[in-house]
Structure 1
Amino acid sequence: MTTPTTYPCPTCKRPATWTDNPNKPFCSERCKLIDLGSWAAEEYKIAAADTPFSDEIDDQKT
């Protein structure tokens, strides 16, 4: 029997299995909820040059 492939959990860095893991890529429900809370608290940000439709808003002001 082969050893299941593991990857580091994005939250706690402990090994997490990929197969038969309902919380993948996290090692547990707890780590999944910690990550969700970080997104909800806006601790993660996706960089963008402009906000969507910002050029349309500027055109309407003049």
Structure 2
Amino acid sequence: MRGLGLGTAVKAASILSLVREGVDVFRTGGAEKNRVILRSDQHLGYRVDEEWLTFSPPSGV
């Protein structure tokens, strides 16, 4: 059932619900390599405003 836009629809519904409660700033996360999430977020009006760094322990630890 991929590709039907269900994730985007659920995210949009949650945004609308929160707007009704007075929330006006939203943040979302997504992997830089996950183009589907990024495209969905762009359709909903999100914009990339910073880059995140992910910690990984050194190999062999």
Q: TM-score, normalised by structure 1?
A: 0.28
Richer in helix (by share): 2
Larger Rg: 1
Richer in strand (by share): 1
**Higher RCO (Cα < 8 Å, 6 or more apart):** 2
Q: TM-score, normalised by structure 2?
A: 0.28
